[in-house]
Amino acid sequence: MSKTLRLVFPQWQGGNNPNYVFGSELLSHIVPQSNKAETIRVTVEKDFSQELPLENGVIGESGLLEQLAEAERILAEKAPEKVITLGGDCSISQAPFDYLHGRYPESLGILWLDAHSDMSTIKDSTRGHMMVLGNLLGHGAPQFSEKVQHPFKVEQVMLAGLKYEELRPCDHQVDDLKMNYLTPAELAEDSQLLIEWINQNQFKQLAIHFDLDVLSPQDFRSINPGKPNLDLEKFPAPIGTMTLDQIGGIIQDVSEKTEIVGFSIGEHLPWDAINLRRTLESVEIFKE
């Protein structure tokens, strides 16, 4: 039995964006791989020809629930000590973080590296990837939060990189639940406030959710607001401002204080590779 499980989870329905499938597959090649870790792929429906239905307030609900159930089955069967999840949209973190909380019930914290809260409800949004952290806290979308067997408490979560000054109405749970958060400006100084949160709660283990959207599109282009020729002034969500160096420093700092047992990466959109592939799709030689 492998202690570490790599879960390749090319889920796209939560963000209603088929490009997340290719982003996940490419991410599985980019992220360093240990010979000791076992890799399993979650089966994801890849029929993009039909528009996803709105079901009980969530786009593509049935597919998302089926894939969530499969991820849960895999984790229960393999029973790993650590889980690396390569998405896909942000909703890929629900199953592994819930599983890890069951394994480390008294000593696990969540570091949510994201420019957004991911705490919307079905009254605020129709996209599942905007609700995942809310689900893990027992809020979010009822049909998903009820699947969480080991819900987290507010004090167990730190929103890091949140653009608090740009919160949207759909992010109201940040204030409603009095969430812990650190802005990019606070994190740019050093990791001291983050370390204090870890120490105060005596976390022995940490699950990190790394939404690549926390990064600045000037520093890292393979994200939604990094799409070529996009008018950023019209972008409908807060845009990340952090750099890879900053995120790398934060991860290194926290790893010296606690054990990282979960690491999810989501929202990878490698536009150059996507556009190159799209251009070559119509070339006859690649069809033979």
How confident is the prediction for the chain on average, in pLDDT? Answer: 95
Q: Would strands 58-59 and 54-55 be described as parallel, antiparallel, or unpaired? A: antiparallel
Q: Is the pTM of this model over 0.85?
A: yes
Q: What pLDDT score was predicted for residue 1?
A: 54
- Determine the pLDDT at residue 137: 98
Q: What are the tokens at 28?
A: 């599985």
Residue 114 has pLDDT above 70, yes or no: yes
Instruction: Give per-residue pLDDT as tens, 162-175.
Output: 999 999 999 999 99
pLDDT at 287: 84
Q: Percent of the chain at pLDDT above 90? A: 94
Residues in contact with 216: Cβ distance below 8 Å, sequence separation at least 6, in sequence order? 239, 240, 241, 242, 243
Average confidence (pLDDT) over 270-278: 95
Distance (Å, whole) CA 140 – CA 137: 8
The string of pLDDT tens digits covering residues 61-113 is 999 999 999 999 999 999 999 999 999 999 999 999 999 999 999 999 999 99
Q: What is the mean pLDDT of residues 105-123?
A: 96
Over residues 18-38, the pLDDT tens digits come to 999 999 999 999 999 988 999
